[in-house]
Chain A
């Protein structure tokens, strides 16, 4: 199945763009912008708005059409969970399958100082009327906060015999999150902890695909709730237990 962007007619390939070029505003700038859009592979381009940002820069809004189509049947992406259980279902599931509380440790690690995301997942109050893991009677949740060194997260995971580790990464400039997450996986492997833990990442600029590439079990993006992660963790743990 080949797909193209949709404006108002199927396969019209309509795309809207906005960008800045380092040139003074004027007719030549607009023509330059139009030609540039064509160079990007668009078939038809129209500059509908141009405005000077300074004597050296101009902002453009463009509409363009493309002939390029994508074979959607070849696109692969697996969500970490298809359908999330509710908080009660998760607790029942743990009672039925593990007969003990699960231990989950979370932190925003490295230099990242953002706590709101991991708090949304872990703290009692939760987020958007979805309770956090601390509320789950069958989960022992420990939230270490932000700027936690990877070493410390793993040390505490070992001490508390954690079943799962949750890592939040919000800052992604200059790929700091990639470096930090890679470092954590390497540490976990060196300390022979990787196989003992479900390792999950989250943040607005990460997803399940990136998580897998970096060697994690799952990744969650914007709009995640505690029950999504909890569902993933319990399912994953029960699969590992069954294998043993």
Chain B
């Protein structure tokens, strides 16, 4: 990423102050996280160790095991699974089949502790080989095709509901110049407390995230990448009730990016806050270990609230997301902090405010692969005006050095993108990116001008907000509706019954491995 010298004259000490506040805000949450586990953290652990498959009713093996464990899951479900592997001297594949066929593994007598530990380190070794192999493969392709890498990376979405149809659209998009393909999830998958199994051909507004669907799309994108000699990144949604499990599947199947926000589920999906915080931590460790770039969801603050009035909520959330990610051992280079171009197009000087906000994000988060989202809320059936709005968005994106640009679709207000919509979006983005390639190094901003003043003001408002959140404590702040104007009670929301305090002697070899790999000290 090109280093951009400060053009906004933002106060370094205010930025440092905001970071310090974010660290204070996250600290008590982190304490809570360390003492707790959840059903999906346990299921993700099992998946990392080899649990997979589903029974004849479609219940996934990891869910069966955690359900069998019941309260004992608080001690770590891995022990039960590995114990069964040792006692029955079976491979994970054999055991998975037996579990799917009805075997109750909690009824199996305890094996010798040494054997359990030995088997665990075999499984972890296999896991490490898989993850390291994926990281290496990606690194090598990126190095080999370095010259094809442009900035910002062009990100498009496919969402037909049918993974095989998605493949056709994704392939076409890659050929047209897309660098990143996201497969949107079907409506309401985020509220399922399990990950469906196998390839799927029916979805609503999107396609199910399943491990097999990941594999199908990965293979297709690798093929086009080889043909185009340009690495094509695959994205999915690591959010909702199965955050860590989706991360695990992504790590195994070499996804490159995951939507992954520390508070999105709480605010926008009404998932319990303790559940979300605990889940985001484990999911981020997995993403970090697998070299997966996360995309945070700050754009959502602006689709529900006014983008000028609430600009500081975006920056505040970016600081908080950054801190939680650091706490999970994630390097800044994997933090695709989100923001969006959502100011009412009727606003005088709206473009200047957008510019200020985007450049501010770039200067405050200099090495982070920022994820910039297009206009959506003010897109209407006037596709021609929408195309013009997207052109301005493309301009700001390139001129302010954004890293990941989710392209706006001229038909945003109408339907999920047609093949031609994506082409038109990519054509406009490439035109703008090329045409203003050297623009950012040509201009400076007037002291006391609209852009500098706007950025300074948003930063001030952010510091004030973080101070308030810190004073209230983040759990109370969310309860009182300080984020996104939604109030979420602490014990409310979905998934709270799936949170456990870790029992004494809690054991999780996958977590131990991740901590080692990421050098996180307790």
- Interface residues, chain A, with chain B CB atoms under 8 Å away: 18-20, 51, 53-57, 59, 111, 115-116, 171, 173-174, 176, 204, 222
Contacts and interface: CB of A to CB of B under 8 A. Distances in A.
Interface of B: 168, 171-172, 175-176, 187-188, 204-205, 303-304, 377, 380-381, 413, 415-416, 418-420, 423
Contact of B187 (A20, A54, A55, A111): A111
Most buried by B among A53, A171, A176: A53
Contacts of A20: 418-420
Contact of A51 (B204, B416, B423): B423
Contacts of B175: 53-55
A116 B268 CA distance: 13
B431 to A, nearest CB: 13
A168 to B, nearest CB: 14
B348 to A, nearest CB: 14
B380 A222 contact: yes
A159 to B, nearest CB: 22
A18 B205 CA distance: 24
Given A57-B172, A171-B205, A173-B204, A18 B377 contact: no
A204 B413 contact: yes
Contacts of A53: 172, 175-176, 419-420, 423
Given A19-B420, A51-B423, A204-B413, 18 more contacts: A20-B419, A53-B175, A53-B419, A53-B420, A54-B168, A54-B176, A56-B168, A56-B172, A57-B172, A59-B420, A116-B303, A116-B304, A173-B204, A173-B415, A173-B416, A174-B204, A176-B204, A222-B380
Contacts of A222: 380-381
A174 to B, nearest CB: 7
B420 A18 contact: yes
Nearest to B380: A222
A54 B426 CA distance: 13
Contact of B172 (A54, A116, A171, A176): A54
B204 A57 contact: no
B303 A111 contact: no
Contact of B381 (A56, A173, A204): A204
Contacts of A111: 187-188
B304 A173 contact: no
Contacts of A174: 204
Contacts of A116: 303-304, 377
A176 B204 CA distance: 10
Nearest to B416: A173
B377 A173 contact: no
Contacts, number: 44
A36 to B, nearest CB: 15
A59 B188 contact: no
A222 to B, nearest CB: 7
A54 B171 contact: yes
A143 B304 CA distance: 15
Given A173-B204, A222-B380, A57 B419 contact: yes
15 contacts: A19-B420, A20-B418, A20-B419, A51-B423, A53-B175, A53-B176, A54-B168, A54-B171, A54-B172, A57-B419, A59-B419, A59-B423, A116-B377, A173-B205, A174-B204
A6 to B, nearest CB: 17
A110 B204 CA distance: 14
> Which 9 pairs between the two chains have the least Cβ-Cβ distance?
A54-B172, A59-B420, A20-B420, A53-B423, A53-B172, A54-B175, A20-B419, A53-B419, A57-B419
Contacts of B172: 53-54, 56-57
Contacts of B380: 204, 222
A18 B427 CA distance: 16
B124 to A, nearest CB: 39
A201 to B, nearest CB: 18
A116 B423 CA distance: 29
Contacts of A56: 168, 172
Contacts of B423: 51, 53, 59
Nearest to A112: B187
Most buried by A among B188, B303, B419: B419
Nearest to B415: A173
A59 B173 CA distance: 13
A69 to B, nearest CB: 25
A54 B175 CA distance: 7
Contacts of B381: 204, 222
Contacts of B413: 204
Contacts of A55: 175
A19 B423 CA distance: 12
Most buried by A among B168, B380, B420: B420
A59 B176 CA distance: 12
Contacts of A173: 204-205, 415-416
A111 B381 CA distance: 23
A111 B190 CA distance: 13
A26 to B, nearest CB: 16
A177 to B, nearest CB: 13
Nearest to B381: A222
Nearest to B205: A173
Contacts of A57: 172, 419
Contacts of A54: 168, 171-172, 175-176
B195 to A, nearest CB: 20
Contacts of B416: 173
B134 to A, nearest CB: 27
Nearest to B172: A54
A59 B168 CA distance: 15
Nearest to B423: A53
Contacts of B188: 111
A193 B214 CA distance: 48
B328 to A, nearest CB: 28
Nearest to B176: A53
Nearest to A145: B486
Contacts of A51: 423
Nearest to B344: A128
Nearest to A60: B420
A34 B168 CA distance: 25
A168 B405 CA distance: 31
Contacts of B303: 116
Contacts of B418: 20
Nearest to B171: A54
Contacts of B187: 111, 171
A222 B171 CA distance: 35
A222 B379 CA distance: 11
B169 to A, nearest CB: 9
